[in-house]
Amino acid sequence: MLRVAGSLITNQVRLRPAADVRPREAPDPAGRRVRRVRADRQDHHLLAVVDPVDDTYRRLMNRQLTVQESRHRLARAICHGGRGQIRQASREGQEDQLAALGLVLNAVVLWNTRYLDAAVAQLRAEGHDIKDEDVARLSPLKDRHINFLGRYQFNITASGAGQGLRPFRDPDEPADIDDSD
């Protein structure tokens, strides 16, 4: 590993056999057992992914990937003013910019979660049959209702202040959000 690191630093990379780069086998029996268990877990993971009969594991992985992709898409939407680029020169400035992005992202997710919960509760109170499986598929990572451009006013004494939520929009009124996309 030191040879590889040194050659990368000096920009003199020579092609070597893979055996020179790979770590050698652990000399003690405990190390060999740990490597064998790790290899068995990797084999089990690969077999579960390519299993043609039961695709539950693959579906679970795809669902997790979709959640992460949705989170990144929302972060890009929030950070669109800088086109998603970290523009601070210093490390501290970059950390501050990423922390601010994380804070705003968490605030959006919290806001959406509270409104989704209140909407489901209101629909159930009105007698609609809302299944728990359907509620589990709701995502707080949506942003079509958020105006990322413009001015914002946060007025705590507005209507609904007892609950901290604004009243829901009447579905019979025309929407002021462009639904074309």
Q: Could you tell me the residue ranges of all domains in the chain?
A: 1-39, 51-145
CA 107 to chain centre: 14
How would you class 74 by CB atoms within 10 Å of its CB: exposed for 0-12, middle for 13-18, buried for 19 or more?
buried
**The dihedral sign for the CA sequence 83, 89, 91, 97:** negative
Query: Are 92 and 100 spatial neighbours (Cβ–Cβ below 8 Å)?
Result: no
Angle (CA) 115-125-114 rounded to 5° is 15
Nearest to 71 by CA among 16, 14, 112, 29: 112
Distance CA 47, CA 108 (A): 38
List per-residue pLDDT tens for the chain, 181 residues long.
666 666 666 766 555 555 555 566 556 888 888 888 888 888 887 888 777 778 888 888 888 888 888 888 888 888 865 566 777 888 888 888 888 888 989 988 998 999 999 999 999 999 999 999 999 889 999 888 887 776 666 665 655 445 577 788 777 787 665 544 4
Query: Are 21 and 4 spatial neighbours (Cβ–Cβ below 8 Å)?
Result: yes
Predicted TM-score of the model (pTM): 0.57
